[in-house]
Structure 1
């Protein structure tokens, strides 16, 4: 049985950490929990997880944003499926959850970025999920 639910508290965020750590390898549990708490309070960040037979196997984090380019939209910050459970449609199901949430809440655009090295993820976003590649993202560490 597959279930998707929003994660709303520190206990649930902590349960998602082992899967999220596979994407955000630089985070330890303490800094992860601090960042999630602050993002929820300050940015409206939300997390949702997909459970297979009551075991958390995939997680996404997303939040509302507004820019002059997109107007009002949803930014997918994180999307990861446990490495032992990939290619089972869980990423697609979670992204569709984000799409449905976005439509229900008046958002017409969902956007995300993906690391240059994540070629399989790019194929997934473009071919399976029908996302358009519209820009490059740049970063400068100060």
Structure 2
């Protein structure tokens, strides 16, 4: 990967999480700002960490991840969210952020980095497979339960 001008930062406070909101809502279109902030606080208690790549004087890309352990991947880093601002794509910011997470996972002695991606996100799939070296290893199933 070429060196991309910018800075990596972990967002830990509500104020910092708000700096990521305009980008995160491009991926998580179902969330309101208040829901996002509430979930951010809940997820932090479960080990979720929010990272940002800052470039050109603003937040260019964000990613949320947490270390998890299970029977099939052992200790791994799961990337819940990865999105580059729609106006700043194809400049290497998402790649830089994901490489940062790969390095962090290695430092934390994780065996793999895993993520899911919506079926409709064909460009993201090409990015993960062709540019970042990911393999498609399974299908992800979801059953919606009764509304609250």
TM-score range, shorter chain: over 0.9
Q: When the two structures are superposed, what TM-score results if normalisation uses the length of structure 2? A: 0.93
1:101 to 101, 104, 125: 104
Q: Offset of 1:90 from its aligned partner? A: 0.8
Confirm or deny that 1:11 pairs with 2:30: no
Confirm or deny that 1:45 pairs with 2:36: no
Runs of 4+ in 1 over 2 A off after TM superposition: none
C-alpha distance in 2 between matches for 1:117 and 1:78? 15
Give unmatched runs, 5+ long, in structure 2.
none
- State the SS of the aligned residue for 2:96: helix
Cα deviation digits, residues 92-118 of structure 1 (max 9, x gap): 001001001111111121000000000
2:83 to 80, 88, 102: 80
- State the SS of the aligned residue for 1:22: helix
Question: Is the CA contact (8 Å cut-off) linking 2:63 and 2:82 kept in structure 1?
Answer: yes
Q: Offset of 1:128 from its aligned partner? A: 0.3
C-alpha distance in 2 between matches for 1:25 and 1:18? 10
Give unmatched runs, 5+ long, in structure 1.
none
Confirm or deny that 1:126 pairs with 2:129: yes
Confirm or deny that 1:91 pairs with 2:94: yes
Question: Is the CA contact (8 Å cut-off) linking 2:73 and 2:111 kept in structure 1?
Answer: no
Q: Offset of 1:13 from its aligned partner? A: 0.3
For this pair of structures, how many residues does the alignment match? 141
Q: Which residue in 1 is equivalent to 2:35?
A: 31
Cα deviation digits, residues 65-111 of structure 1 (max 9, x gap): 11111111110000000000111111100100100111111112100
- State the SS of the aligned residue for 2:27: coil
1:138 to 106, 120, 141: 141
